[in-house]
Structures are given as C-alpha cells and as structure tokens.
Amino acid sequence: MPDNSYQAVMARKNDIMKAAVGLDYSRFESGGIAFDYEAMMAAPGLDIHQVQAIQADYGVGNTPLLELKHITALARKYARPGYGARILLKDEAANPSGSFKARRAALSVHAAKEMGYKGVITATSGNYGAAVASCCAKAGLKCIVVQECFDSKGLGQPEIVEKARKCEAFGAEVVQLTVGPELFYAFLLLLEETGYFNASLYTPYAILGVETLGYELAGQCKDQYGAFPGMVVATNAGGGNLTGTARGMRKAGCESPLVAASVNLKGLHMASDRDFNMKSFTTGHTGFGMPFTTWPDRSDVPRSAARPLRYMSRYVTLSQGEVFYTTEMLAVLEGMERGPAGNTSLAAAFCLARELPREALIVVQETEYTGAGKHPNAQLAFARANGVRIAAGDPREEVPGESIILPEHPGQIDCQEADLNHMRKSLIAKAIEGAEMPIGENDLRFLALETNSGADFVQGVIDQFGRDKHETSR
C-alpha cells in the first residue's frame, strides 16, 4: 500500500500529474529558468481548425457576437464628444454548459478519450466542472468534480452550491470539501486511485480550447463590422481565459490590445476559512488573478500553459458593487441575464469604451449562464447574512469582506489600473530566486517573453534584486 500521508502524496505529485495528463513536461525543460513554451503548446499536434472540429462534435463554440446598443448609448453619455466605442459581447453562455469553459472541457475530454482514460477528474468551484461533466456525458466517460465548497461551519456560497447541482445534473460525482490545502491533496489521491485523466485548466489542451474563442471573435468582428476590435477585455483569474483568447486572436491576424479585468478582493485570503464566505465572487477576482499572473506555475501541473502576463496590455480592477450594478444593467437595458464572471469585463468595457472613438469596437470576450444561486440577489443576501454591509454610494469606498458599495449612477463605474511593471518585477524576482548567477542569455530571453518586456528591463530587475539581496545580508 502506498504511503498516503499528506507529505508523501505531495512528494510524488509530479509523477501523479504526469500519469494523469499523458504529457512528459521534462521534454520542454532547459535545466535553467527557461522552458520551451511553444513546443509544449504544440505537443497535442492540433491546429486551430482541428480544434474547432472537435468542439463542434460537442456542440461547443460558434457563439454569437452581439452589439449592446443601449449600454453603448449609456456609456457615451459619460464620454467626451466623439468618444464612446461600440460595445460588443461574445455570448459564451450559448455553449451547452453555459460558459466559455466548455471550450477547454471539449479538448480535455477529447484528449482523455483518445488516450484511453476511463474517466476524467477536475478540481473547480463549478463552471468548469459543469463543462467537463457535460462533455463527459457526450463522450461516455465517467466524471468526478472536486469542489472547494464550504467553510469549517459547513456554509457554502450559493453560487458554488448551485454549480454542484449543475455538475450532478450532467451525471458527475461531486466531491465537496472545506477550504484549505485538503483540496489539492484529495484531488491527487483521487487521480492516483482512479487512474482518471486530469482535466486541468492549465494544460495545453485547455488553452488550445480557448484559442478558438479569440479566433472566432476576431473573425466575427471583421465579418460583421469590417474591422478588428480596438480593444478586447477579458475577465482574468487563473490566466487561461486571457492566454487562450490572445493566442487565438493572433492566429486570426488580430493584434488588438487585450485588457485583463478582475474584481478587487484585496485583503481577503483565498485559503482562509474566515475569508472564504466574505467574498461574493468565486472567480474573476484578484485573489486568483494577481498571484497567477506573477507566478503561473503555482497551478496543478508542472508548467502552466496559462501565462497571461505575456499577452495583456493592461490590467484593471473593479469593485464587487460595480460588477453587481453592471449585471443588473445588462438585464434591464439589454434583456440579457448573465452571471457575474463575464460581467466583470463588461463593467471594465463600460468604463474603457469612453477612451476610444465612437467608430471603434470594444469586445467583452465572454459571458456565463446565471441562475438562482449565481444571481446578484442571492449573493448579496448571503453577504449580508455574513455581516457584510450593503449600501449605495461611492464604489471606491468599498472594503472587501466588510462592505459592498453599489454605484448610485453609471458614471461612478471607473476601473482602476494595476501596475504591470510591478507584476513583471515580481515574476522575475520569483523566477531568479535560488537560480545560479549570472542568468544565461536563454533565460533572459525567456523572462523577457514571460513579462512582455525586453532583455534590458529583465537585466535591470535582476541587478536590482542582487543589490537588494546584498543590502539585506549586510
């Protein structure tokens, strides 16, 4: 019998993952900081059209691109003359499971079936679990969804609880756990015991699946409006949504700037039992977005295929209240009730559209389904029950975990810029910590690509890191 203590399971996690994804990550390693990212992405051997064909077999993709005419008109009321871009929305709620994550799931489940796995396991709060369960039902594979669902008192957020029901509706077995490190431990044990495929959000299969989203939206803009978008806004959490979209846009010949948007949950710790139910967003927030941007390889596979800092041109944040307000705006003005994740990027687009001329296009890159537990009323009621103050006023005064401040009027929606250079420096510092000095040319080139910067910038950060380290040791 294997040693299933926490320490022993963690010690063999790389071997477990290698067996569970059918991919030998050591093939791409250089022995230093750098690894061959593009070779890893090419390992599945699929081009964009093959990926589209696979997704079509699952009824996934080819979702509509819609113009939000009333929201555009409202945004223009707060823009200077001649400004206020047309706001378009890629309606990913039209996928079978109700979110863009069906694209990731279709590729992952296809890969699992092609490689002969009998079942698939995924760890997720819900949307991806529902997507994997839906695709497994179509493919005739078993499915287990591992959810971080409850705090130590057994309280689960309404959105997560509802997503569990959706997973079960597609025939999945749902394993619900309390917040904390037990999630990854239980996940590894299940992978080892079942021999199932790991439908990780961070494999090449998952990111290739999202590439079709970027490819489609670029083509639809060109076909429907005669031009590529002036800007695309993507809700950012673990980084796969943004990474795949950017890569797909580029494959369509579209180099439009891509802006990351997250809900600001500064001060709340995602693994804290106390903080777990003090937030009202389970994804698309800074608790995932910031750490995964500055260190992508914190994921459940040795090398993450989601590397968002390579592709984002800006990173903006919004308050919970602004996103709840925007969710109601979409329903009341456009007759579209959609879930909170995509409405994070819609709130950002409402603000950013004012920067662009009226003839420009700004694309909100995805929507998700909504339902009783994902509806703002349920989330706000749950927040109030947990002692969070709900009020109307200035969203800038919101304190995550203490208050949710809904704007008093649309002009108060005003996304805040995050410091990309600070994130770049953080990634470089993490990468070189413990590395042999001096850093080689191959590693310098890699870090320049990782941070979407240049060799001089990277060298400057390394030099500063060395000076700081020397000062600290004196």
Token pair 């279709």 in the structure block, residue? 106
What pLDDT sits at residue 76?
A: 98
Domain membership flag for residue 389: yes
Domain identity same for 403 and 308: yes
Domain membership flag for residue 1: no
Question: CB 30: neighbour CB atoms within 10 A?
Answer: 12
Domain identity same for 317 and 397: yes
Residue 444's domain comprises 420-473
What pLDDT sits at residue 473?
A: 47
| Whole-number Å distance between alpha carbons of 363 and 65 | 9
Domain identity same for 343 and 382: yes
What element of type H or E holds 14? helix 13-21
Domain identity same for 220 and 243: yes
Domain identity same for 258 and 384: yes
Q: Give every CB contact of residue 204 below 8 A, 6+ residues apart in sequence.
A: 23, 40, 41, 43, 44, 305
Above 70 in pLDDT, residue 472?
no
What pLDDT sits at residue 468?
A: 65
Per-residue pLDDT tens digits for 313-365: 999 999 999 999 999 999 999 999 999 889 999 999 999 999 999 999 999 99
Domain membership flag for residue 246: yes
Domain membership flag for residue 362: yes
Going by pLDDT thresholds of 50, 70 and 90, the confidence category of residue 124 is: confident
| Strand spans (E) along 239-296 | 258-263
Q: Give every CB contact of residue 153 below 8 A, 6+ residues apart in sequence.
A: none
Q: Which of 184, 202, 220 is the last residue of a domain?
A: 202
CATH of the domain at 153: 3.40.50.1100
Per-residue pLDDT tens digits for 125-176: 779 999 999 999 999 999 999 998 899 999 988 888 888 999 999 999 999 9
Domain membership flag for residue 166: yes
3-state helix, strand, coil split of the chain in percent (to 5) is 50, 15, 35
Q: How many residues does the chain have?
A: 474
Average pLDDT of the chain is 94
Domain membership flag for residue 135: yes
Per-residue pLDDT tens digits for 264-295: 999 999 888 889 999 999 889 999 999 999 99
Token pair 């600001």 in the structure block, residue? 264
| 44 phi-psi bin (left φ>0, alpha ψ -120 to 50, beta other) | alpha
Closest residue by Cα to residue 264 from 398, 66, 448, 444: 398
Structural domains in the chain (count): 3
Per-residue pLDDT tens digits for 208-224: 999 999 999 999 999 99
Domain identity same for 40 and 169: yes
What pLDDT sits at residue 125?
A: 74
Least confident piece of the model among 62-66, 73-77, 217-221, 378-382: 378-382
Domain identity same for 170 and 229: no
b/e code 116-125 from CB counts within 10 Å (16+ = b): ebebbbbbbb
| Whole-number Å distance between alpha carbons of 36 and 465 | 25
| Whole-number Å distance between alpha carbons of 134 and 149 | 20
What pLDDT sits at residue 257?
A: 98
Domain identity same for 260 and 230: yes
Per-residue pLDDT tens digits for 166-203: 999 999 999 999 888 788 899 999 999 999 999 999 99
Kindly state the average pLDDT of the residues 63-80: 98
What pLDDT sits at residue 396?
A: 96
Percent of the chain with pLDDT over 90: 84
Domain identity same for 363 and 218: yes
Domain identity same for 161 and 298: no
Domain identity same for 138 and 83: no
Per-residue pLDDT tens digits for 444-471: 999 999 999 999 999 999 998 876 654 4
Domain membership flag for residue 167: yes
**Residue 46: HSE in the Cβ half-sphere, 13 Å Cα cutoff:** 21
Token pair 């929305």 in the structure block, residue? 89
What pLDDT sits at residue 336?
A: 97
Above 70 in pLDDT, residue 229?
yes
Q: Which of 161, 176, 202 is the last residue of a domain?
A: 202
What pLDDT sits at residue 470?
A: 42
What pLDDT sits at residue 467?
A: 65
Domain identity same for 334 and 399: yes
Q: Which of 172, 187, 202 is the last residue of a domain?
A: 202
Domain membership flag for residue 352: yes
